């Protein structure tokens, strides 16, 4: 009797599956070797394996859930693994209104992340306080932590969040390995009172 | 004697006489004003009197009336008789220069957080409260945000990034 299931007897062509392989960085290729700079290899690896830490407080967080869902699927960009421990994550995604009382919490989470770390402010509230021009709301998370990418919108659509994520990927890919130890970066952290 | 608003008013007037004022009956909810020194006596009377039995404190809040000179702040108590399902509201007024009102925490434990909230937003100083500090706003806030002493949008503030809004 024929087996009802194929058990991968036939080898399939992976091109048909729509799997995107990361492009190799520029370098010298020859028979049996490939040479490039360390910056580029590290950049490529980091770019395609970012671990986001969602800090979702309101409606932008719902949009992020859609972004993580199967329809928009942030996993395609190597961000499959959403971590809920700041110690393991590379990318802090702040989505939603941050009250002034929560400002120290955002900063604490940022401090707990290991270098290199990136921050994306999703939505009008996280970027600037949004419509909440009031005594209780932080007027943008860049008051407490340095932000790499701002995504406008109230709330932004998942496409916009993905666009912001790709901007982060560009930053990650092209970041110099010396940036985090440089004087400019130290001065930036110093301006936020972070040692 | 059933617990209707006329009877509640009669009981209270019998006990406190002319000191209770501004009686009104809006949407079948009795409302009156007491002198602020009497607030605990009124609460106790409403609680203990078997005919009244207002033993549930629904809410404490405050209202700022900038035009009522020397009694700018109004503390509002909402009480509920759960057995008869009757509600009642009474107010005490206090000057914003010295907003001292006796704390109801000895009678209602639930008044603890409500009074902290009222202090937080209006600066009413509840005398006798065990832990009167801010509850919702940041500790370092140095004003009482719901008092009508501030413009809705403060043009002098520096924490708003104008580049984002094109103002």
| Residue B85, domain extent | 5-150
> Is residue B160 domain-resident?
no
ipTM: 0.73
Would B158 be classed as within a structural domain? Answer: no
Residue A1 has pLDDT above 60, yes or no: no
Q: What is the 3-state secondary structure (H, E, C) of chain B?
A: CCCCHHHHHHHHHHHHHHHCEEEEEECCEEEEEECHHHHHHHHHHHHHCCCCCCCEEEEEEEEECCCCCCCCEEEEEEEEECCCCEEEEEEEEECCCCCEEECCCCCCCCHHHHHHHHHHHHCCEEECCCCCCCCCCCCCCCCCCCCCCCCCCCCCCCCCCHHHCCC
Measured between CB atoms, which of B136, B145, B161 is closest to A139?
B161
Q: Is residue B93 part of a domain?
A: yes
8 A C-beta contact, residue B37 and residue B19: no
Tell me the pLDDT tens digit for each residue of A67-110. 999 999 998 888 888 888 999 999 999 999 999 999 999 999 99
With an 8 Å Cβ cutoff, is A129 touching chain B?
A: yes
Check B138 against A133: CB less than 8 A apart: no
Is the CB of A135 less than 8 angstroms away from the CB of B137? yes
| Contact across the interface for A136 and B137, Cβ inside 8 Å | yes
pLDDT at res. A159: 94
From A127, which residue of chain B is nearest by alpha-carbon distance? B164
CATH code: domain of residue B99: 3.30.460.80
Residue B69, in any domain of the structure: yes
Q: How far apart are CA A75 and CA B80, in angstroms?
A: 54
Partner B contacted by A140 (CB < 8 A): yes
Question: Within a domain: residue B166?
Answer: no
pLDDT digits (tens, 9 = 90+) for B75-132: 999 999 999 899 999 999 999 899 999 999 999 999 999 999 999 999 999 999 999 9
Does residue B155 fall inside a structural domain? no
A101 contacts B164? CB cut-off 8 A: no
Is B89 part of a structural domain of the chain? Answer: yes
pTM higher than 0.95 for the full model? Answer: no
Interchain pair A100, B165: CB under 8 A:
no
Q: Is residue B56 part of a domain?
A: yes
Beta-carbon contacts of residue A178 (< 8 Å; ≥ 6 apart): none
CB B87, CB B80: distance < 8 Å? yes
What is the domain count for chain B? 1
């Amino acid at each position: 009797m024929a087996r009802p299931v194929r058990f991968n007897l036939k080898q399939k062509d992976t091109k048909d599956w729509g799997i995107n392989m990361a492009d190799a960085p520029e370098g010298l290729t020859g028979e049996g070797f490939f040479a490039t700079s360390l910056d580029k290899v590290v950049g490529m690896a980091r770019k395609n394996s970012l671990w986001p830490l969602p800090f979702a407080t309101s409606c932008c967080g719902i949009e992020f859930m859609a972004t993580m869902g199967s329809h928009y699927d942030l996993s395609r960009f190597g961000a499959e693994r959403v971590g809920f421990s700041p110690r393991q994550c590379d990318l802090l995604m702040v989505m939603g209104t941050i009250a002034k009382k929560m400002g120290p919490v955002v900063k604490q989470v940022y401090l707990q992340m290991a270098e290199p770390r990136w921050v994306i402010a999703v939505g009008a509230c996280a970027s600037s306080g949004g419509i909440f021009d009031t005594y209780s709301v932080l007027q943008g998370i860049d008051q407490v932590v340095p932000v790499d990418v701002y995504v406008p919108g109230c709330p932004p659509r998942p496409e916009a969040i993905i666009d912001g994520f790709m901007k982060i990927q560009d930053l990650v890919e092209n970041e110099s390995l010396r940036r985090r130890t440089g004087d400019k970066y130290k001065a930036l952290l110093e301006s936020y009172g972070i040692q | 004697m059933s617990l209707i608003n006329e009877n509640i008013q009669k009981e209270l007037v019998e006990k406190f006489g002319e000191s209770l004022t501004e009686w009104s009956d809006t949407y079948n909810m009795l409302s009156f004003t007491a002198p602020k020194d009497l607030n605990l006596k009124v609460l106790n009377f409403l609680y203990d009197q078997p005919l009244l039995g207002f033993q549930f404190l629904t809410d404490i809040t405050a209202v700022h009336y900038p035009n009522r000179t020397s009694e700018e702040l109004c503390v509002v108590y909402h009480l509920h008789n759960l057995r008869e399902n009757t509600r009642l509201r009474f107010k005490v007024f206090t000057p914003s220069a010295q907003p001292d009102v006796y704390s109801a925490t000895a009678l209602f434990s639930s008044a603890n957080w409500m009074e902290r909230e009222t202090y937080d937003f209006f600066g009413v100083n509840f005398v006798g409260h065990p832990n009167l500090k801010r509850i919702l706003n940041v500790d370092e806030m140095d004003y009482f945000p719901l008092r009508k002493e501030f413009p809705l949008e403060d043009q002098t503030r520096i924490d708003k990034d104008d580049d984002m809004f094109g103002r």
